[in-house]
Structure 1
Protein backbone atom coordinates (compact mmCIF):
# COMPACT_ATOMS: atom_id res chain seq x y z
CA UNK A 1 0.00 0.00 0.00
CA UNK A 2 1.39 3.39 -0.97
CA UNK A 3 2.15 5.84 1.81
CA UNK A 4 0.31 8.57 -0.11
CA UNK A 5 -2.96 8.27 -1.99
CA UNK A 6 -2.27 8.87 -5.65
CA UNK A 7 -5.79 8.36 -6.94
CA UNK A 8 -8.02 11.21 -8.08
CA UNK A 9 -5.04 13.17 -9.35
CA UNK A 10 -5.67 15.47 -12.30
CA UNK A 11 -3.64 18.02 -14.27
CA UNK A 12 -5.37 20.67 -12.16
CA UNK A 13 -4.31 19.26 -8.78
CA UNK A 14 -1.06 17.38 -9.42
CA UNK A 15 1.10 20.43 -8.62
CA UNK A 16 -0.72 21.02 -5.33
CA UNK A 17 -0.30 17.32 -4.51
CA UNK A 18 3.45 17.58 -5.12
CA UNK A 19 3.75 20.81 -3.13
CA UNK A 20 1.91 19.16 -0.25
CA UNK A 21 4.45 16.32 -0.25
CA UNK A 22 7.30 18.84 -0.09
CA UNK A 23 5.64 20.70 2.78
CA UNK A 24 4.62 17.64 4.83
CA UNK A 25 7.52 15.29 4.17
CA UNK A 26 10.31 17.46 2.82
CA UNK A 27 11.82 18.12 6.22
CA UNK A 28 12.69 14.46 6.63
CA UNK A 29 16.35 13.57 6.71
CA UNK A 30 17.89 12.61 3.40
CA UNK A 31 19.67 9.75 5.09
CA UNK A 32 23.43 9.85 4.83
CA UNK A 33 23.44 13.41 3.47
CA UNK A 34 23.73 16.84 5.17
CA UNK A 35 20.40 18.04 3.72
CA UNK A 36 16.71 17.20 4.06
CA UNK A 37 14.81 15.59 1.21
CA UNK A 38 13.22 18.89 0.19
CA UNK A 39 16.51 20.78 0.41
CA UNK A 40 18.13 18.19 -1.84
CA UNK A 41 15.51 18.44 -4.58
CA UNK A 42 15.16 22.22 -4.30
CA UNK A 43 18.94 22.58 -4.59
CA UNK A 44 19.00 20.54 -7.79
CA UNK A 45 16.24 22.68 -9.30
CA UNK A 46 17.89 25.92 -8.14
CA UNK A 47 21.24 24.93 -9.63
CA UNK A 48 19.50 24.08 -12.89
CA UNK A 49 17.71 27.43 -12.92
CA UNK A 50 20.88 29.38 -12.09
CA UNK A 51 22.77 27.69 -14.92
CA UNK A 52 20.09 28.60 -17.45
CA UNK A 53 18.71 25.11 -18.03
CA UNK A 54 15.37 24.70 -19.79
CA UNK A 55 12.31 24.64 -17.55
CA UNK A 56 11.75 20.97 -18.26
CA UNK A 57 15.17 20.12 -16.79
CA UNK A 58 14.54 22.34 -13.77
CA UNK A 59 11.26 20.52 -13.17
CA UNK A 60 12.86 17.10 -13.64
CA UNK A 61 15.58 17.99 -11.13
CA UNK A 62 12.96 19.26 -8.69
CA UNK A 63 10.95 16.03 -8.87
CA UNK A 64 13.63 13.39 -9.44
CA UNK A 65 13.44 11.97 -5.91
CA UNK A 66 9.70 12.36 -5.31
CA UNK A 67 9.45 8.58 -5.28
CA UNK A 68 11.16 8.47 -1.90
CA UNK A 69 7.79 9.67 -0.59
CA UNK A 70 5.49 7.64 -2.84
CA UNK A 71 7.28 4.28 -2.88
CA UNK A 72 5.31 1.55 -1.16
CA UNK A 73 8.65 0.38 0.23
CA UNK A 74 9.28 3.58 2.18
CA UNK A 75 12.28 5.89 2.27
CA UNK A 76 15.97 5.07 1.90
CA UNK A 77 18.05 4.16 4.95
CA UNK A 78 21.79 3.60 5.31
CA UNK A 79 20.84 0.29 6.96
CA UNK A 80 18.94 -0.90 3.88
CA UNK A 81 19.91 -4.27 2.46
CA UNK A 82 17.54 -4.12 -0.52
CA UNK A 83 16.72 -1.39 -3.01
CA UNK A 84 13.44 0.50 -2.54
CA UNK A 85 12.97 1.41 -6.23
CA UNK A 86 12.08 5.02 -5.51
CA UNK A 87 12.87 5.99 -9.11
CA UNK A 88 10.08 3.79 -10.48
CA UNK A 89 7.66 4.90 -7.77
CA UNK A 90 8.25 8.55 -8.64
CA UNK A 91 7.95 8.07 -12.38
CA UNK A 92 4.75 6.07 -11.94
CA UNK A 93 3.09 8.95 -10.08
CA UNK A 94 4.22 11.54 -12.63
CA UNK A 95 3.77 9.72 -15.93
CA UNK A 96 0.13 10.69 -16.52
CA UNK A 97 0.91 14.39 -16.20
CA UNK A 98 4.46 14.96 -17.45
CA UNK A 99 6.22 14.34 -20.75
CA UNK A 100 8.48 11.34 -21.21
CA UNK A 101 11.57 13.51 -20.88
CA UNK A 102 10.64 14.34 -17.27
CA UNK A 103 9.58 10.81 -16.34
CA UNK A 104 12.71 9.36 -17.97
CA UNK A 105 14.88 11.70 -15.89
CA UNK A 106 13.05 10.48 -12.78
CA UNK A 107 12.90 6.79 -13.71
CA UNK A 108 16.49 6.56 -14.89
CA UNK A 109 18.43 8.84 -12.54
CA UNK A 110 19.54 5.75 -10.61
CA UNK A 111 20.51 3.98 -13.83
CA UNK A 112 22.43 7.11 -14.80
CA UNK A 113 24.56 6.77 -11.66
CA UNK A 114 25.31 3.16 -12.58
CA UNK A 115 26.05 4.24 -16.16
CA UNK A 116 28.43 7.02 -15.15
CA UNK A 117 30.26 4.74 -12.74
CA UNK A 118 30.83 2.35 -15.63
CA UNK A 119 31.81 4.92 -18.26
CA UNK A 120 33.55 7.79 -16.47
CA UNK A 121 36.41 6.73 -14.24
CA UNK A 122 36.39 9.94 -12.19
CA UNK A 123 32.68 9.80 -11.41
CA UNK A 124 32.69 7.18 -8.65
CA UNK A 125 35.12 9.26 -6.57
CA UNK A 126 32.57 12.10 -6.50
CA UNK A 127 29.83 10.01 -4.89
CA UNK A 128 28.84 10.52 -1.28
CA UNK A 129 28.89 7.58 1.13
CA UNK A 130 25.10 7.34 0.88
CA UNK A 131 25.27 7.23 -2.92
CA UNK A 132 27.90 4.49 -2.80
CA UNK A 133 25.72 2.48 -0.42
CA UNK A 134 22.64 2.84 -2.61
CA UNK A 135 24.74 2.08 -5.72
CA UNK A 136 25.63 -1.28 -4.23
CA UNK A 137 21.94 -2.01 -3.58
CA UNK A 138 21.04 -0.89 -7.10
CA UNK A 139 23.36 -3.29 -8.90
CA UNK A 140 26.68 -1.46 -8.99
CA UNK A 141 28.24 -0.09 -12.19
CA UNK A 142 26.55 -1.17 -15.41
CA UNK A 143 27.86 -4.03 -17.49
CA UNK A 144 28.98 -3.31 -21.05
CA UNK A 145 25.69 -4.75 -22.29
CA UNK A 146 23.68 -2.52 -19.95
CA UNK A 147 25.70 0.52 -21.04
CA UNK A 148 24.92 -0.17 -24.70
CA UNK A 149 21.22 -0.55 -23.97
CA UNK A 150 21.11 2.59 -21.82
CA UNK A 151 22.77 4.67 -24.52
CA UNK A 152 19.81 4.02 -26.84
CA UNK A 153 17.52 6.19 -24.69
CA UNK A 154 16.69 9.32 -26.75
CA UNK A 155 16.72 11.40 -23.53
CA UNK A 156 20.17 10.22 -22.43
CA UNK A 157 21.70 13.72 -22.38
CA UNK A 158 18.93 15.14 -20.19
CA UNK A 159 18.96 12.11 -17.87
CA UNK A 160 22.70 12.59 -17.32
CA UNK A 161 22.20 16.33 -16.73
CA UNK A 162 19.64 15.63 -14.00
CA UNK A 163 21.95 13.02 -12.47
CA UNK A 164 24.70 15.61 -12.11
CA UNK A 165 22.19 18.03 -10.55
CA UNK A 166 21.18 15.24 -8.17
CA UNK A 167 24.81 14.79 -7.12
CA UNK A 168 25.30 18.55 -6.73
CA UNK A 169 22.26 19.16 -4.53
CA UNK A 170 23.77 18.16 -1.21
CA UNK A 171 25.06 21.40 0.35
CA UNK A 172 24.27 21.94 4.01
CA UNK A 173 24.27 25.75 3.76
CA UNK A 174 22.75 26.47 0.34
CA UNK A 175 19.82 28.89 0.20
CA UNK A 176 17.03 28.00 -2.22
CA UNK A 177 13.55 29.25 -2.97
CA UNK A 178 10.60 27.18 -1.75
CA UNK A 179 8.57 24.83 -3.94
CA UNK A 180 6.11 27.68 -4.55
CA UNK A 181 8.78 29.45 -6.63
CA UNK A 182 8.90 26.50 -9.03
CA UNK A 183 5.19 25.64 -8.95
CA UNK A 184 4.24 27.85 -11.94
CA UNK A 185 6.86 26.22 -14.17
CA UNK A 186 5.79 22.76 -12.99
CA UNK A 187 2.23 23.67 -13.98
CA UNK A 188 3.42 24.97 -17.36
CA UNK A 189 5.13 21.66 -18.07
CA UNK A 190 1.95 19.81 -17.08
CA UNK A 191 -0.20 22.11 -19.22
CA UNK A 192 2.09 21.70 -22.23
CA UNK A 193 1.71 17.94 -21.89
CA UNK A 194 -1.96 17.63 -20.90
CA UNK A 195 -3.45 20.89 -22.17
CA UNK A 196 -4.31 24.01 -20.13
CA UNK A 197 -6.16 23.34 -16.87
CA UNK A 198 -8.00 26.65 -16.80
Structure 2
Protein backbone atom coordinates (compact mmCIF):
# COMPACT_ATOMS: atom_id res chain seq x y z
CA UNK A 1 0.00 0.00 0.00
CA UNK A 2 1.32 3.44 -0.94
CA UNK A 3 2.03 5.79 1.98
CA UNK A 4 -0.78 8.22 1.09
CA UNK A 5 -3.17 5.27 0.85
CA UNK A 6 -2.16 4.32 4.40
CA UNK A 7 -3.02 7.86 5.51
CA UNK A 8 -6.38 7.65 3.76
CA UNK A 9 -7.05 4.29 5.44
CA UNK A 10 -6.31 5.81 8.86
CA UNK A 11 -8.79 8.64 8.24
CA UNK A 12 -11.40 6.17 7.00
CA UNK A 13 -10.95 3.98 10.07
CA UNK A 14 -10.58 6.65 12.76
CA UNK A 15 -11.81 9.92 11.21
CA UNK A 16 -15.28 9.65 12.72
CA UNK A 17 -13.82 10.02 16.23
CA UNK A 18 -14.28 13.36 17.89
CA UNK A 19 -11.26 15.52 17.26
CA UNK A 20 -8.26 15.38 19.58
CA UNK A 21 -9.65 12.29 21.30
CA UNK A 22 -11.83 14.62 23.35
CA UNK A 23 -15.47 13.57 23.54
CA UNK A 24 -16.74 17.11 24.05
CA UNK A 25 -15.23 18.49 20.85
CA UNK A 26 -17.97 19.43 18.38
CA UNK A 27 -16.51 17.93 15.17
CA UNK A 28 -15.05 14.65 13.99
CA UNK A 29 -11.31 14.23 13.55
CA UNK A 30 -11.75 14.20 9.76
CA UNK A 31 -13.89 17.36 9.74
CA UNK A 32 -11.32 19.02 12.00
CA UNK A 33 -8.44 18.04 9.68
CA UNK A 34 -10.31 19.29 6.60
CA UNK A 35 -11.22 22.58 8.29
CA UNK A 36 -7.66 23.12 9.47
CA UNK A 37 -6.25 22.50 5.98
CA UNK A 38 -8.86 24.79 4.46
CA UNK A 39 -7.91 27.59 6.86
CA UNK A 40 -4.26 27.13 5.88
CA UNK A 41 -5.21 27.42 2.21
CA UNK A 42 -7.27 30.54 2.87
CA UNK A 43 -4.18 32.05 4.51
CA UNK A 44 -2.13 31.25 1.36
CA UNK A 45 0.11 28.91 3.33
CA UNK A 46 2.67 26.94 1.32
CA UNK A 47 1.55 23.43 0.27
CA UNK A 48 3.73 21.80 2.94
CA UNK A 49 1.99 23.76 5.70
CA UNK A 50 -1.44 22.96 4.23
CA UNK A 51 -0.42 19.28 4.37
CA UNK A 52 0.83 19.65 7.95
CA UNK A 53 -2.46 21.30 8.88
CA UNK A 54 -4.38 18.36 7.44
CA UNK A 55 -2.12 15.80 9.16
CA UNK A 56 -1.45 17.49 12.51
CA UNK A 57 -3.60 15.12 14.60
CA UNK A 58 -2.83 11.88 12.76
CA UNK A 59 -0.84 10.69 15.75
CA UNK A 60 -4.18 10.07 17.49
CA UNK A 61 -4.74 7.27 14.95
CA UNK A 62 -1.35 5.55 15.30
CA UNK A 63 -0.44 2.62 17.56
CA UNK A 64 -3.91 2.14 19.01
CA UNK A 65 -4.13 5.60 20.52
CA UNK A 66 -6.97 5.87 23.03
CA UNK A 67 -10.31 6.69 21.44
CA UNK A 68 -11.63 9.01 24.10
CA UNK A 69 -10.96 10.80 27.32
CA UNK A 70 -8.87 13.84 28.04
CA UNK A 71 -5.30 12.61 28.13
CA UNK A 72 -1.92 13.69 26.84
CA UNK A 73 -1.33 10.86 24.40
CA UNK A 74 1.77 12.53 22.85
CA UNK A 75 0.06 12.33 19.46
CA UNK A 76 2.32 15.03 18.02
CA UNK A 77 5.40 12.94 18.85
CA UNK A 78 3.90 9.66 17.72
CA UNK A 79 3.19 11.24 14.32
CA UNK A 80 6.85 12.13 13.66
CA UNK A 81 8.31 8.71 12.77
CA UNK A 82 5.18 7.84 10.82
CA UNK A 83 5.09 11.04 8.76
CA UNK A 84 8.87 11.05 8.26
CA UNK A 85 8.50 7.95 6.08
CA UNK A 86 6.87 10.05 3.39
CA UNK A 87 7.40 13.75 4.05
CA UNK A 88 10.15 16.24 4.72
CA UNK A 89 10.69 18.57 7.65
CA UNK A 90 8.39 21.28 6.28
CA UNK A 91 5.45 18.91 6.80
CA UNK A 92 6.68 16.93 9.80
CA UNK A 93 8.09 19.64 12.08
CA UNK A 94 4.99 21.87 12.32
CA UNK A 95 3.05 18.72 13.27
CA UNK A 96 5.65 17.86 15.91
CA UNK A 97 5.56 21.38 17.35
CA UNK A 98 1.85 22.22 17.30
CA UNK A 99 1.25 21.19 20.94
CA UNK A 100 4.28 23.19 22.07
CA UNK A 101 2.91 26.11 20.05
CA UNK A 102 -0.22 26.05 22.23
CA UNK A 103 1.93 26.23 25.35
CA UNK A 104 3.90 29.11 23.78
CA UNK A 105 0.78 31.08 22.83
CA UNK A 106 -0.77 30.66 26.28
CA UNK A 107 2.36 32.23 27.76
CA UNK A 108 2.80 35.05 25.21
CA UNK A 109 -0.74 36.06 24.18
CA UNK A 110 -3.12 37.04 26.98
CA UNK A 111 -6.19 36.66 24.75
CA UNK A 112 -5.20 33.23 23.47
CA UNK A 113 -6.04 31.37 26.67
CA UNK A 114 -9.62 32.63 26.53
CA UNK A 115 -10.02 31.40 22.97
CA UNK A 116 -9.28 27.74 23.75
CA UNK A 117 -12.03 25.13 23.70
CA UNK A 118 -12.86 23.46 27.03
CA UNK A 119 -11.13 20.25 25.95
CA UNK A 120 -8.03 22.15 24.82
CA UNK A 121 -7.89 23.92 28.18
CA UNK A 122 -8.02 20.61 30.02
CA UNK A 123 -5.32 19.01 27.89
CA UNK A 124 -3.10 22.10 28.28
CA UNK A 125 -2.33 21.16 31.87
CA UNK A 126 -1.50 17.61 30.84
CA UNK A 127 0.82 18.93 28.12
CA UNK A 128 2.91 20.98 30.52
CA UNK A 129 0.92 24.20 30.87
CA UNK A 130 2.34 27.56 29.78
CA UNK A 131 6.00 27.53 28.73
CA UNK A 132 8.73 28.70 31.07
CA UNK A 133 11.16 31.44 29.98
CA UNK A 134 13.84 28.91 28.92
CA UNK A 135 11.22 26.94 26.97
CA UNK A 136 10.07 30.14 25.22
CA UNK A 137 13.60 30.92 24.09
CA UNK A 138 14.22 27.37 22.92
CA UNK A 139 10.93 27.28 20.99
CA UNK A 140 11.55 30.64 19.31
CA UNK A 141 14.92 29.38 18.07
CA UNK A 142 13.38 26.42 16.23
CA UNK A 143 13.29 26.80 12.43
CA UNK A 144 9.66 25.66 12.13
CA UNK A 145 8.27 27.59 15.10
CA UNK A 146 6.46 30.22 12.95
CA UNK A 147 4.74 27.50 10.92
CA UNK A 148 3.76 25.64 14.10
CA UNK A 149 2.25 28.81 15.54
CA UNK A 150 0.19 29.39 12.39
CA UNK A 151 -0.94 25.76 12.40
CA UNK A 152 -1.89 26.03 16.06
CA UNK A 153 -4.14 29.01 15.46
CA UNK A 154 -5.89 27.20 12.58
CA UNK A 155 -6.15 24.10 14.77
CA UNK A 156 -8.02 26.10 17.41
CA UNK A 157 -10.40 27.62 14.83
CA UNK A 158 -11.13 24.36 12.98
CA UNK A 159 -13.98 23.15 15.19
CA UNK A 160 -17.14 24.40 13.49
CA UNK A 161 -19.92 21.80 13.19
CA UNK A 162 -21.37 21.47 9.69
CA UNK A 163 -18.83 23.75 8.02
CA UNK A 164 -18.48 23.28 4.25
CA UNK A 165 -15.01 21.96 3.37
CA UNK A 166 -13.31 20.45 0.33
CA UNK A 167 -13.43 16.67 0.02
CA UNK A 168 -10.63 14.59 1.52
CA UNK A 169 -9.42 13.77 -2.00
CA UNK A 170 -8.22 17.36 -2.42
CA UNK A 171 -5.71 16.93 0.39
CA UNK A 172 -4.83 13.35 -0.51
CA UNK A 173 -3.82 14.67 -3.95
CA UNK A 174 -1.68 17.31 -2.25
CA UNK A 175 -0.06 14.65 -0.06
CA UNK A 176 0.71 12.59 -3.17
CA UNK A 177 2.43 15.60 -4.73
CA UNK A 178 4.55 16.17 -1.62
CA UNK A 179 5.22 12.55 -0.68
CA UNK A 180 8.85 11.45 -0.97
CA UNK A 181 8.01 7.74 -1.03
CA UNK A 182 9.27 6.35 -4.37
CA UNK A 183 5.94 5.05 -5.66
CA UNK A 184 4.17 8.42 -5.81
CA UNK A 185 1.61 8.71 -8.58
CA UNK A 186 2.07 12.23 -9.91
CA UNK A 187 -0.90 14.55 -9.96
CA UNK A 188 -1.21 17.70 -11.96
CA UNK A 189 1.70 20.01 -11.09
CA UNK A 190 1.34 23.18 -9.12
CA UNK A 191 -1.00 24.15 -6.33
CA UNK A 192 -4.03 22.61 -7.96
CA UNK A 193 -3.77 19.47 -5.81
CA UNK A 194 -4.72 17.24 -8.70
CA UNK A 195 -8.14 17.77 -10.21
CA UNK A 196 -9.78 19.13 -7.04
1:50 is aligned to: 42
1:161 is aligned to: 150
- Aligned-pair CA distance for 1:46: 1.2
Partner SS, residue 142 of structure 1? coil
Aligned length in residues = 182
Mapped to 2, the partners of 1:89 and 1:119 lie a distance apart of 26
Maintained 8 Å contact 1:71/1:85: no
2:175 is aligned to: 186
Maintained 8 Å contact 1:43/1:169: yes
Alignment of 1:61-140 (within 5 A): 61-78=53-70, 80=71, 83-140=72-129
The alignment's C-alpha RMSD in Å is 1.6
2:191 is aligned to: none
Mapped to 2, the partners of 1:22 and 1:73 lie a distance apart of 13
Could you state the TM-score of these two structures normalised by the residue count of structure 2? 0.87
Partner SS, residue 57 of structure 2? coil
Partner SS, residue 122 of structure 1? helix
- Indicate the structure whose relative CO is greater, using CA pairs within 8 Å and at least 6 residues apart: 1
Structure 2: stretches of 5+ with no match in the other structure: 186-196
Mapped to 1, the partners of 2:32 and 2:65 lie a distance apart of 20
Mapped to 1, the partners of 2:179 and 2:67 lie a distance apart of 26
Partner SS, residue 110 of structure 2? coil
Mapped to 2, the partners of 1:62 and 1:71 lie a distance apart of 19
- Aligned-pair CA distance for 1:28: 1.3
Structure 1: stretches of 5+ with no match in the other structure: 1-8
1:4 is aligned to: none
